[in-house]
Amino acid sequence: MLAHRDPLLLNSIDSYPEDLMCAGSVNFGRQVGLCTLEVGVGHETLRLTIEIFPAKIDYATDYQNLLSDVAGTSRALALEYLRATYQTGEARDVRDATSLDWLTLLRNEISLLDRSIRYVNEHPHRALSREIDYVRADRIKRADATIRDAIVRGRGRGPWTKLPGAGRIRSILPASRSRETLDTAEHRWLRLQLALIHDRLSDIHATVSAELERTRRGGGAAPARLVAEEEEVAGFSRSISELLALPLFDNITEPPPSGFASLTLLSGIGYGEAHRVIMVLRLGLSIRGESFDLSVMDVHGLYETWCYLEVLRIVLAKMGGSADLSTLLRVEENGIRVRLAQGRRTTVTCKSPTVTLDVSYNDHYRGLTGLQKPDIALKFRNDGWPDLLVLLDAKYRLDASDGYRHQFGCPGPPIDAINALHRYRDAIVVVRGESKTRPVVKGAALFPLSSAASSEFPNSKLREALESLGIGALPFLPGNVQHVEDWLDGLLSLAPEDLAVPGPPFAGLAERRSRGLE
């Protein structure tokens, strides 16, 4: 048997139980990092951990810098919940911990929480509870303070009787008895925390289930990974429900004292481990560390997000401004998904004395030929001029074949990635006044190529196309941002009448103008 948490990873694996063999291919796609597989034979299980490296960028430098830059802006943006690979990180005290942080930490710690609570259930610390019980006077062998007080005050039940040396007393007197109880402040605290965990799991499970239901209502098959996420969260919820149903918590209904803590809770066997897990769940995740396994974005999604953040940093620097991007960008949290808010809601506006520039991520434009969705849109706004758009598409694809090099002079994005920008320029139409206009003037496909591998780019046709056609491509990685910086610097220095020229004029339109027909 070959097993893995991500159901998509083993889609192509066939099992042959009679031969004790599994065979097939494993495709990690665009996932990078560590992967642990479980190989089971009979009662024996082997855990095999392998590491997957990216093919297009350097793992130790470019990939780690991509991850650090995105996480440095917003930790949760770099995280996913269920992927075939994982990185290692640690828990830290943060102000903006998300449900994704919380659930990832719980997944790492739920086995320890389960073992700890079950150990406490089997070996609980009990407290003595003093209760008042009524006892026949002739059965009392030793008078405690409660009995003496009852005799003096004449309290009790039943008929009066005489006691030598004490006078008249009731025949049934109140006596204090000590009994062992599990209703302690420690157990109240543990039950309250488990109930809070269960409530939060229920909320997350409801969100994932709703997402799954929407997918099924759409008529298509439910994604295997989404189904696995729903089943895993439901399993966590069942596990916590089973803990709450243990005899340890049977007669506990009251909350613990406010701010309660004790040496037993902090350091008792079982208690201390459960307390540590519950406190860890109040933290957030950092991608630096070795304590917890966490899934991160597929490398193409990570690259696209980094491109937007880095373009935004460059624009802010070029226009003489600076800002904490984490306060400018709106991040949407939906259950276990954290993304940059889509469309206009993620637009950041930058201003200089001469131009106002809107930098948008994943904006969309509806047209007669369909929806157009460039990754990054730069909208130049000048007084007295229509809005002019420069589009950037981040493509984590690289063609370094001999044929491509021969045609363009250096490695670059696939040709269809560049052709998409030509389509944007032609298909995106906006209404201005009573007429329709095409606002897109220039565009570039951003692709992952290191500084050392970009030595031929300045003389390539990709660069030449940017200058002559207004459409081309630019290499862009954490260690290779200069080409994009120079190009954006040139665009920002253009007067609107120069920026408005998209490239060589259409022959027929130029002839029409030369004949004075416009």
Do 420 and 506 reside in the same domain of the chain?
yes
Distance CA 368, CA 384 (A): 28
pLDDT single digits (tens) 72-98: 877 778 888 888 898 888 888 877 778
Secondary structure element (H or E) that encloses residue 2, with its range: strand 2-3
**331 and 448 together in one domain:** yes
Q: Please give the pLDDT value at position 42.
A: 79
Asked whether residue 142 is assigned to any structural domain, the reply reads no
Asked whether residue 210 is assigned to any structural domain, the reply reads: yes
pTM: 0.78
Claim to verify: residue 410 and residue 449 sit in the same structural domain: yes
Total domain count, the chain:
2
Shared domain for 360 and 452, answered yes or no, is: yes
Residue 244 burial class via C-beta count within 10 angstroms: exposed 0-12, middle 13-18, buried 19 and up: middle
Q: Is 112 exposed, middle or buried (0-12, 13-18, 19+ CB in 10 A)?
A: middle
Residues 63, 478 contacting (CB under 8 angstroms): no
pLDDT band at 344 (very low <50, low <70, confident <90, very high): very low
State the pLDDT at residue 10.
Answer: 86
Q: Which of 282, 312, 347 represents a domain boundary (last residue)?
A: 282
Do 355 and 437 fall into the same domain? Answer: yes
Q: 47 lies in a domain? A: no
Residues 278 and 328 grouped into a single domain: no
What is the pLDDT at residue 417?
93
Share above pLDDT 90 across residues of the chain, in percent, rounded to a whole number: 40
Q: What is the pLDDT of residue 329?
A: 66
Q: How far is CA 492 from CA 309, 357, 380, 390, 458, in A?
A: 18, 9, 9, 11, 20
pLDDT tens for each residue of 430-468: 887 778 888 999 999 999 999 999 999 999 999 999 999
Task: Answer whether residue 153 is part of any domain.
Answer: no
Please check whether residue 46 lies inside any domain of the structure: no
Q: Is residue 54 part of a domain?
A: no
Question: Buried b / exposed e across 406-415, counting CB within 10 Å, b at 16+?
Answer: eebbbbbbbe
Task: Tell me: do 330 and 407 sit in the same domain.
Answer: yes
pLDDT for residue 153:
79
The answer to whether residues 346 and 209 belong to one domain is no
In a domain, 20, yes or no: no
pLDDT (mean) for 348-362: 84
Q: How confident is the model at residue 321 (pLDDT cuts 50, 70, 90)?
A: low
Domain with 345 in it: 299-514
* Residue 3 maps to a domain: no
CB 461 within 8 Å of CB 470: no
Decide if 375 contacts 304 (C-beta within 8 A): yes
For 134-201, the three-class secondary structure string (H helix, E strand, C coil) is EEEHHHCCCCCHHHHHHHHHCCCEEEEEEECCCEEEEEEEEEEEEEEECCCHHHHHHHHHHHHHHHHH
Domain-ending residue, one of 282, 316, 344: 282
Domain stop point among 282, 317, 335:
282
Do 237 and 273 lie in one domain? The reply is yes
Percent of the chain whose predicted confidence (pLDDT) is above 70? 94
Residue 389 and residue 248 share a domain: no
Residues 368, 465, single domain; the answer is yes
